[in-house]
Amino acid sequence: MDVFIYLFAALFSVLNPIGTVPIFVGLTHDDNEKERSRISLWTAIDVFLILIITYFVGQYVLTFFGISIDALRIAGGLIIVSSGFSLLSGKFSKRRGINKKVENDVQQRNDIALTPLAIPMLAGPGSMSLLIAYFQERTEITDHIFSSLAILAVSIAIFLILRSAHYLAKILGASGIVAISRIVGFIVIAIGIQYIVSAVVSILNDNIFN
């Protein structure tokens, strides 16, 4: 259960679905409630598939390219810390990786669940590197089961939040969403720093004390 709680909290903080609410509202303002529900569901499904594949297959990609787990932790930690600082300072890009051409394209088509919602706004490099590093730290089958359940739970939370995005936007308002994003940003920074510290300690242990 500790594995489930930790990974759920870490993923929820890094993915920050609350911060996606105003973007989702903007992209779906012309859609009816049924269409919004469909987009919310498929966004959650796409995020789940991306994260679960990353969790179980990501280590083999690292092996293929000769990337060490410590290098991944440092790179992922830097990305996570950068995202956290952006959230904390309120300078997080509203498009989160969407350029103007892509934004215009998604406004002209209905299926926006995979791109840009699932990628890059929710499942990005930070969450992927977090999952790959976390997989390396766990060897028990039960750990992988609870990790998979945590990924599923996060995906369900994403569906519920996006499904209620238009209501949340009205209730929380712009200031409320900013406040929550900044609180989440502080947690994200702590997660990123922890990954960097763990990698540095591991490198020092391998090269100095052994």
Q: How confident is the model over 141-185, as pLDDT tens digits?
A: 999 999 999 999 999 999 999 999 888 888 878 778 777 777 877
Q: Would the pLDDT of 42 be above 80?
A: yes
pLDDT classification of 108: cutoffs 50, 70, 90: very low
User: Can you tell me whether residue 16 is helix, strand or coil?
Assistant: coil
| 0.85 surpassed by pTM | no
Residue 207 is predicted with a pLDDT of: 76
Residue 189 is predicted with a pLDDT of: 84
Residue 107 is predicted with a pLDDT of: 44
Q: Would the pLDDT of 105 be above 70?
A: no
Q: Would the pLDDT of 9 be above 80?
A: yes
pLDDT classification of 59: cutoffs 50, 70, 90: confident
pLDDT classification of 94: cutoffs 50, 70, 90: very low
Q: What does the block give as tokens for 50?
A: 């991306």
Helices (H), 112-164: 125-137, 141-163
The burial class, CB within 10 Å (0-12 / 13-18 / 19+), for 85 is: middle
Q: Which helix (H) or strand (E) holds 96?
A: none
Of 55, 53, 25, the residue nearest 161 (C-alpha): 25
- Within a 13 Å sphere around the CA of 161, how many CA atoms are in the beta-carbon half? 23
Q: Would the pLDDT of 110 be above 90?
A: no
Are 12 and 154 a contacting pair, CB within 8 Å?
yes
- Ranking 31-45, 85-99, 116-130, 186-200 by mean pLDDT, the lowest is 85-99
More reliable by pLDDT, 23 or 98: 23
Q: Which residue has the tokens 């759920």?
A: 8
Of 65, 184, 187, 47, the residue nearest 124 (C-alpha): 47
How much is the mean pLDDT over the chain? 81
Residue 139 is predicted with a pLDDT of: 78
